[in-house]
A and B are shown apart, each in its own frame.
Chain A
Amino acid sequence: MLRVENLTVKFPSRFGDFTAVQDLSMTIKPGEIHGLVGESGAGKSTVGAAIIGLLQSPGYISDGTMMLGDTDLRGLDQQEAHRLRGKRISMIFQDPQTSLNPLMRIEDQLVETILAHEDISAAAAKSRAIDLLEEMGIKDAASRMQSYPHQFSGGMRQRVVIALALCTNPELIIADEPTTALDVAVQSQVLDLIRRLAEVRKVGFMLITHDIGVIARIADTVTVMRHGKGIESGPTAQVLGNPVHTYTKQLMAAVPPLDRKIDRFMVPEKDDIVTPSMNSGAQAEAWLLSGTKSDPIGLSLSDIDVTFPGVRTSIFRKPDPFVALSEISFDVRPGSVMGIVGESGSGKSTLAKTLTGLVKPANGTMTLGSADLPGGKTRARKHPSRQLMQMVFQDPFSSLNSRHKIGDILAEPLWLYGLVKDQKERQELCADMLGLVGMPPEAINKFPHQFSGGQRQRIAVARALLARPKILICDEPTSALDVSIQAQLLNLLKDLQKAFGLTVIFISHNLSVVRQMSDDVVVLRNGRIQEKGPSEQVYEDPKADYTKRLLELTPTMPSQWMS
């Protein structure tokens, strides 16, 4: 049905053409789910955009053929291409929160799409829309259709998006990261829906994703992409189970497994490999050791409740407070790694904020080592915990001040906590610290935008360590990173944790990552602890139904493929 041959997409720039996709070929048959997998910058989304004719300007297709049935997609003029969109090819985007027009009812958006492509009455279009929504699993569709997008939950919204993409019976749907923004439970439902549609309606899907687990779960065939080129292609079981190309093998090795704990990740070779620096970070290591190794400390929480004021809707009634965390108690053993997992909205980040004193708990006590840890603003600016606990944030693009040089960012904890008084000494220590996290020491004179996401996250880790902390709180430190970069960073965190006897609180929604990192684990849901215990025990023999379900629904690769 879809046949792409030698597709090449270029983006002209001042420095010559940038080739985003090179010589890519693939075919998709009716009812086939074809996975397109690769890391960021591999050109996956560009392929999808080229096929549907929505390449961002100034990109253009410089070579190749794209045939949908008998139609030559490259030969269409603008109007023909627009008429074909929706009618024969449709698309699903990553974030259901933003892909629906917030000001229009679901009904209007569905009906307008059907009427744009088919010559039927508005009433007929409406009844088809109702049937379709019911088929997508939205109950009571006739009345739900009157709602606006914000009145649906994330998963429901993605169903509406899929209904919109399907409502004109297209032959091909390009799904660009359709489940990346969803929680595992919802992701699993949406993937099932896609699988069913492919089987029942014989729609061809191009499933673009970075998540190999998703590909392994539903794709029939897969193409692995890197730097715009197709590396390897074929039936999923063959490509992932028996990869031929080195890159595919490395990629597979970098995926953290859910079913066992491995010691270190294999790291794919990078082209832009960090050159081994002259100084290995020995000085920084010695400096850190002199302050941290001595005696690791633990942390314990008992009966912590956190509430936020609700939205006031009446003058007379006090709004019900929103309970973000309720009765949270756990102990973090000195020098151990505590993993905290949960879906979005489970209170993971609130917990991190509570620990760091950004949010004040309504009830409960926190203890750091043997001392009481005051919450929120009652914690003094000079409180020792502000130095002892350091945080690594999720988004390395916004957590570093873009107007400060790396050297200044790194030196901040040194003067702030009065650790190193001499300016020159500070700079030397910072440069050496960069060596310790695997970065060249010259980086201290550069600005954050000159680094990739993975490098910035290394800088964030270096900054946190320069405060000589005993406790490191990592809030989703790798979720903005590609798997291979994630593998590198996780390795780094493991090494540092071991070397300096750090106590780490590792927060993530990704169960596999948490398993690899943690000694103990706490499973959170809606602000309550569902289960806690040593992580091997929780993963091997989960007690709570919720944990069992989470483990079941997380898309993984069959273990025989991973060795």
Chain B
Amino acid sequence: MVFFLTKRLIQSVFVMLAVAFLAFSLFRYVGDPVSQMTGVETSVEDRERLREDLGLNDPFVYQFVRFTGDLLKGDFGYSYRTRQPVAEMIASRIPATLELGLVALMISLLVGIPAGVYTALRPRGFATQTILMLTLVGVSIPTFVIGIMLIFFFGVQLGWLPTFGRGGTVSVGGWETSFLTIDGWRSLILPALTLGVYQLTLTMRLVRAEMMDVMQSDYIRFATARGVPMGRMYFRHALSNTMVPVITIIGLQFGGVIAFSIVTESVFQWPGMGLLFLESIRFVDIPVMGVYLVVIAFFFVLVNLIVDLLYVLIDPRLRISDVS
């Protein structure tokens, strides 16, 4: 198992290196950094000096190594647009996106898993058919339409919930959280719902399919034949056996939620990383885009590592070292 983890860690390093290379190429070759930084009136000599100072004349490999080294030290460079350090800009946006993603994930799990189990156990019931139809609608409608519809009903028509921004946030050790104020929660509900609906339907359908599969298996038939109580059979025996594929997909999806919350963030003007990314695209703010790429890749890698660890926790067969 230690070997398995080490292998995964080494693979992760290579993934991160590849992404860093992409970010570096973006920075170095999409447009000329020097002309991005200077104005029209800068002289040719000044430009050359700047080019030399920035090390842009150094060999390619050397530049890439320096770029990666800077990333590791936490030196992410400066934004072309705001002239602020990119690290600060991203750090100030991470809490908003992470909290949004987490709540969306919670909604999808807390509703999706029970709904999946229910619809698997009563595949022909009226409620099941209704739920399945609704989720089909949920998957088919694009995220931004759901967001706008939610804003229209709950924000505009009913006036119950705010339609943009994070509302009241409290700073806990530099982390701006909306979990500690009622206002913050009120602002969180609509965007989190919007972001979570797709995940929810996916989780539900996956749990349902896996659960129906597991319910046909020999060990469930054997458990039934020896009279294990129904509740225990559904949740202890069947549900835990559906978890490995479900966790894989949820993990991948969570990475996706963090990465692609762009649409939701822009509909709700949610001050997260997605919104920052959109602004950066508009101003061709390449350093920010490059770092965004690296940060998102880091989240993906991290989530997948956690998923791998969870596999081992769930399935004893993967703990190779203790086979007797």
Contacts and interface: CB of A to CB of B under 8 A. Distances in A.
A, B: real partners:
yes
Interface of A: 52, 54, 82-87, 90-91, 93, 95, 98-104, 112-113, 116-117, 147-148, 150-151, 161, 164-165, 167-168, 311-315
B226 A98 contact: no
Contact of A83 (B217, B222, B227, B241): B227
Interface string B234-273: 0011001100000000000000000000000000000000
B241 A102 contact: yes
9 contacts: A54-B221, A86-B227, A99-B218, A102-B219, A102-B317, A103-B315, A116-B227, A167-B226, A314-B3
Interface in B108-133: none
A101 B226 contact: no
B221 A93 contact: yes
Nearest to B6: A315
A168 B230 contact: no
Contacts of A82: 224, 227, 230
Interface of B: 3, 6-7, 217-219, 221-230, 232, 236-237, 240-241, 314-317, 320-321, 323-324
Contacts of A100: 219, 222
Quick one: which of B221, B236, B241 has the most chain A CB within 10 A?
Answer: B221
Contacts of A113: 226-228
Contacts of B240: 103
B3 A164 contact: no
B56 to A, nearest CB: 39
B315 A91 contact: no
A313 B320 contact: yes
B18 to A, nearest CB: 22
Given A103-B316, A150-B317, A116 B222 contact: no
Given A102-B317, A150-B316, A161 B324 contact: no
Contacts of B221: 54, 93, 99
Nearest to A317: B3
A93 B228 contact: no
Contacts of A90: 225-226
A314 B226 CA distance: 41
Contact of B227 (A87, A101, A150, A311): A87
CB-based closest 7 A-B pairs: A86-B227, A86-B226, A91-B225, A98-B218, A85-B227, A148-B316, A99-B222
Nearest to A52: B225
Given A103-B240, A103-B315, A151 B225 contact: no
Given A102-B241, A103-B241, A168 B219 contact: no
B226 A99 contact: no
B145 to A, nearest CB: 40
Most A C-beta atoms less than 10 A away, residue of B222, B223, B321 = B222
A309 to B, nearest CB: 15
Given A103-B315, A164-B226, 11 more contacts: A82-B230, A90-B225, A93-B221, A112-B232, A116-B228, A116-B229, A150-B323, A151-B324, A161-B222, A315-B3, A315-B7
A153 B82 CA distance: 66
A312 to B, nearest CB: 7
Contact of B3 (A116, A151, A312): A312
B232 A54 contact: no
A116 B222 CA distance: 14
A52 B221 CA distance: 11
Contacts of A84: 227
Given A82-B230, A93-B218, A101 B223 contact: yes
B222 A168 contact: no
Contact of B225 (A54, A314, A315): A54
Nearest to B241: A103
Contacts of B219: 98-102
Q: Is the interface of A mostly helix, strand, loop or mixed?
A: loop
A151 B6 CA distance: 24
Contacts of A150: 316-317, 323
B217 A98 contact: yes
Contacts of A103: 240-241, 314-316
A32 B28 CA distance: 84
Nearest to B230: A82
A313 B218 contact: no
Contact of A311 (B226, B228, B317, B320): B320
Nearest to A97: B218
Contacts of B224: 54, 82, 85
Contact of A117 (B6, B7, B227, B241): B227
Contact of A313 (B3, B226, B317): B3
Nearest to B229: A116
Nearest to B315: A103
Q: Which of B6, B217, B225, B237 has the most CB of A within 10 A?
A: B225
B246 to A, nearest CB: 13
Nearest to B237: A101
A313 to B, nearest CB: 5
Contacts of B314: 103
Contacts of A91: 222, 225-226
Contacts of B323: 150-151
B316 A165 contact: no
B185 to A, nearest CB: 36
A93 B222 contact: yes
Nearest to B324: A151
Contacts of B316: 102-103, 148, 150
B227 A313 contact: no
B104 to A, nearest CB: 28
Contact of A86 (B6, B217, B228, B317): B228
A147 B323 CA distance: 9
Contacts of B229: 116
Contacts of B225: 52, 54, 85-86, 90-91, 93, 165
A444 to B, nearest CB: 36
A228 to B, nearest CB: 22
B227 to A, nearest CB: 3
A148 B315 CA distance: 10
Contacts of A161: 222
A113 B223 CA distance: 8
B150 to A, nearest CB: 39
A83 B229 CA distance: 8
A116 B314 CA distance: 24
A1 B246 CA distance: 46
Contacts of A83: 227
Given A147-B324, A314-B3, A164 B232 contact: no
Nearest to B244: A103
Contacts of B236: 104, 112
B317 to A, nearest CB: 5
Contacts of B218: 93, 95, 98-99
A86 B221 CA distance: 12
A54 B227 CA distance: 11
A87 B225 CA distance: 10
B292 to A, nearest CB: 34
B197 to A, nearest CB: 31
A508 B6 CA distance: 43
* Interface core residue of B6, B223, B232 (most chain A CB under 10 Å): B223
Contacts of B223: 101
Contacts of A86: 225-228
A114 to B, nearest CB: 10
A167 to B, nearest CB: 8
A159 to B, nearest CB: 14
A51 to B, nearest CB: 11
A148 B217 CA distance: 18
A101 B7 CA distance: 29
Contacts of B317: 102, 148, 150
